Each structure stands twice: as C-alpha cells, then as structure tokens.
C-alpha cells in the first residue's frame, strides 16, 4: 500500500527510488459452482464474472478464466480434474482456460498479477483450503481480490472482512454436512438402500415412499428398498457362506474352493470368486435384514480410498426392513469367527516378521491383491495368501534360516 504522506517536492525523477515492481497488471477470473446439479453453471459463472469484473481497472479485461463445477469441500490437489468433455457439454457462455489447479501451475508463465473472484467461498468453502490457495498465490506474487470486500480503508479492516467471510463459508460448509448426513441417516433408518445391492438382493423402487415435488433440476431420484434376487440360489449361497464361516470356522480360501467346485449351485458374480467377494459379503449386516449406513468413510483425504468406520458410527434401521438371509445373531457370530481368523493370520505374519528381525532382514509389504500380499524379506520377494497357513509360515521361517546360514 502506498504511503499517503509523500515528499514536499516532486521526486518522480529519482527513478532508482521508484517501485521495483513495474509489471503490467494481468488479472484472471477465478470461479466455482457447487455442482452442475445443485446450481446452474450457465447462470452462476457469468454472474460471478460480472461481479468480479467490477474490480478490474478501467479498460482492463481478464487475460484468462479459471473455474470449476464441483464441491468447494475438495482439497486443492483434487480440484479441476473433471474431463474437458464434461465442461464443453455444459455450454457455459464463459471461456474456460482450466480449473484452480491449472491456475496455480500457470501463474508464473502467464505473468498473472491479480486473481479476482466474487467471494472467498468461490475458491473453497473450507477455510484452510482457501487460505492455502491465497498463500500460494501471494507467494507467487499474485494479489487475491474478492469483489464482495470493501475498497479503501485499512489493511486490518480488509483482512477482518475477508476472514469473517471465510469463517462464514466454513460454518456454512459444516452446516450443510450436518444436514446432508442427517438426511442420509434418516434414509437408512426408514429402510431405504444406499449404494449397490449386495449379492443376494436387487434394489427396487419403493412405491410407498413419499414423492417429493419436482425440483428446479428435474425429478428427484426414487427411493429404493432391497428385495431378494430373482435367482434364489444367491440367497442360498450367501447363507452357506455365512454358515461355513460361523459354523465350521473356514478361512476365505476354503470357502472359495467350496463355492467354485459347484458353480451351478453357487452362481458366480464375474469370472471367479475372490477374497473380497466373500469377506465383504460375510461382513455385510444387510444380510440380517437391516439397513445399515456409514460403515465406510469416503472422505479420507486420498482420492478413491475409503476406510472402515467403527461400529459406533454405523446407522441402523430400528427393525428389519427387507428379507433376511441370516439372523442378526448369526451375523454377529460370523463376525466373531472372522475376527479370530484374522488374529491368527496376524499372528502368522508376526512370527515371520520377528524371525526376519532376529536374522537382520527387512520385512516390508510391497503390494496386495484380493487374495495375496507380496512382501520383501531381505533381498527376496514372497507372495503370501490371506490368511497365511501355518505350514507356509514354518516353511518361510526355515528358508530364511537356511539362507542366512549360507
């Protein structure tokens, strides 16, 4: 900010003491629409451009336009990854030179001096994300300007206005998440299904569900409940899987062998049964007739990666809402057996790891598939099934000892 208290005489001829930054002003537009379903980008983006344009200097125009159609809750590295074809199909009457990620990568090449947006939540709703983007742009010599901020006055006043706006965006984000999750909880509690139907079921439209009036963007998605699959063998197959685990304490590989030996009796999904097919189905409480939501957390900070939530965070329907393959007590008993088998498998790996450490060898996981995990033990790579049979454990330990003795 220039000083309001200049010298008493004209000093403009002292060029060496003038501002070192004589870059030509080059401003870019930054915008975002929540999603193409919740807001109309053909209206919202042009409106944002019009408001941001008010902070351009006289005769100035934007040198580039960077905008996204996606959630403002995404981290910066996850922004602007939508395919070009999607944006072209939207037919927004504003050119698009890329998204937020593209802007951060091209700032120095384009010689950008200012990034103009309608307000801070058009960069991101999460305060940490918007602050991160601002910091990165300012580090590259770009001033971030929001059209809804006051002009003139003190820097502290401008900063207070900006931070209040970012706090409001963060609070709005938390409120929307609470409302959205509350709606999803009620969806499950009232018996409607989330996600794809498990192996022994199909998802059918619930004709008794209340019909909401048509919204601005068309008809609402119908609510669906689970119904038995037309192929009755699937119910029998799922029940047999759970019985083999619960009653006979069979490991996944043994269950797969039994299922694969009788494909006419136990119909396949895909080309073959896999470890994930069996384990995930046995672990699915929907087999007991209940709707259960929030078993997995999808927002982990890693794209495409989810993690299991503790059962204390699961949301159950208060009573059975569809035909059950097994009782809830039988499902619980199967989970107890599964936990025991996993503990045994963990114990097997612990034995191998302990022996490797004793022999001075490294023991690290390299990669994993549905049925096997590849480990590096010293200079060798060994693929181990899951769970690891005791005979293989003893063989690997013996091989390690023999190799160390030579």
Do both 301 and 360 map to the same domain? no
Q: Is residue 190 part of a domain?
A: no
Q: Is residue 17 part of a domain?
A: no
Do both 165 and 42 map to the same domain? yes
The range of the structural domain enclosing residue 64 comes to 23-176
Which stretches in the chain have pLDDT values below 50?
A: 216-217, 300-301
Contact present, 149 and 162 (Cβ < 8 Å): yes
Do both 65 and 92 map to the same domain? yes
Do both 49 and 112 map to the same domain? yes
Q: Quick one: pLDDT at residue 269? A: 80
Do both 356 and 300 map to the same domain? no
What is the bridge-based pairing of β-strands 143-146 and 201-205? unpaired
Q: Is residue 140 part of a domain?
A: yes
> Domain with 97 in it: what CATH number?
3.40.50.1390
Q: Is residue 39 part of a domain?
A: yes
Do both 107 and 133 map to the same domain? yes
Domain stops at, among 326, 356, 385? 326
Q: Quick one: pLDDT at residue 262? A: 92
Do both 126 and 37 map to the same domain? yes
**pLDDT digits over 266-294, tens only?**
998 888 898 888 999 999 999 999 999 99
Q: Is residue 332 part of a domain?
A: no
Do both 306 and 359 map to the same domain? no
**pLDDT digits over 120-142, tens only?**
888 887 788 888 888 899 999 99
Q: Quick one: pLDDT at residue 17? A: 60
Q: Is residue 35 part of a domain?
A: yes
What is the domain count for the chain?
A: 3
228 strand-pairing partners: 201
Q: Is residue 152 part of a domain?
A: yes
**What separation in angstroms does the CA of 246 have from each of 47, 232, 239, 389?**
61, 22, 10, 19
User: Whose CA is closest to 67, among 36, 37, 22, 38?
Assistant: 36
């Amino acid at each position: 900010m220039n000083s309001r208290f200049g010298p008493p005489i004209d000093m403009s001829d002292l060029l060496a003491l003038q501002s070192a930054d004589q870059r030509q002003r080059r401003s870019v537009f930054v915008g975002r629409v929540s999603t193409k379903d919740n807001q109309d980008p053909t209206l919202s983006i042009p409106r944002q451009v019009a408001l941001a344009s008010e902070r351009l200097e006289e005769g100035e125009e934007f040198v580039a336009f960077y905008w996204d159609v996606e959630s403002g809750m995404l981290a910066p590295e996850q922004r602007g990854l939508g395919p070009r074809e999607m944006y072209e199909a939207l037919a927004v009457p504003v050119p698009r030179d890329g998204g937020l990620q593209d802007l951060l990568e091209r700032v120095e090449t384009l010689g950008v001096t200012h990034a103009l947006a309608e307000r801070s939540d058009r960069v991101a709703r999460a305060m940490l994300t918007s602050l991160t983007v601002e910091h990165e742009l300012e580090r590259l010599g770009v001033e971030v300007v929001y059209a809804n901020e006051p002009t003139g006055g003190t820097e502290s006043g401008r900063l207070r206005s900006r931070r209040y706006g970012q706090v409001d965006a963060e609070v709005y984000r938390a409120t929307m998440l609470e409302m959205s999750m509350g709606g999803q909880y009620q969806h499950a509690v009232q018996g409607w299904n989330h996600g794809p139907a498990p192996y022994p079921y199909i998802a059918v439209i619930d004709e008794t569900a209340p019909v909401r009036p048509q919204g601005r963007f068309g008809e609402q998605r119908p609510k669906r409940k689970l119904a038995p699959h037309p192929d009755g063998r699937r119910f029998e197959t799922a029940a047999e899987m759970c019985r083999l685990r619960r009653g006979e304490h069979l490991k996944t590989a043994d269950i797969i062998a039994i299922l694969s030996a009788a494909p006419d009796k136990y119909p396949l999904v895909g080309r073959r049964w896999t470890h994930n097919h069996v384990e995930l189905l046995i672990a699915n409480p929907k087999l007991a007739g209940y709707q259960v939501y929030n078993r997995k957390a999808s927002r982990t900070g890693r794209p495409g990666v989810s993690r299991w939530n503790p059962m204390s965070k699961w949301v159950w329907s208060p009573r059975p809402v569809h035909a059950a393959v097994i009782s809830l007590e039988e499902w619980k008993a199967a989970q107890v057996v599964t936990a025991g088998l996993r503990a045994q498998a963990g114990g097997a790996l612990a034995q191998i790891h302990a022996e490797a450490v004793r022999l001075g060898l490294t023991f690290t996981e390299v990669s994993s598939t549905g049925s096997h995990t590849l480990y590096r033990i010293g200079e060798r790579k060994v693929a181990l099934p899951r769970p690891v049979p005791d005979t293989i454990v003893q063989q690997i330990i013996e091989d390690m000892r023999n190799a160390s003795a030579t």
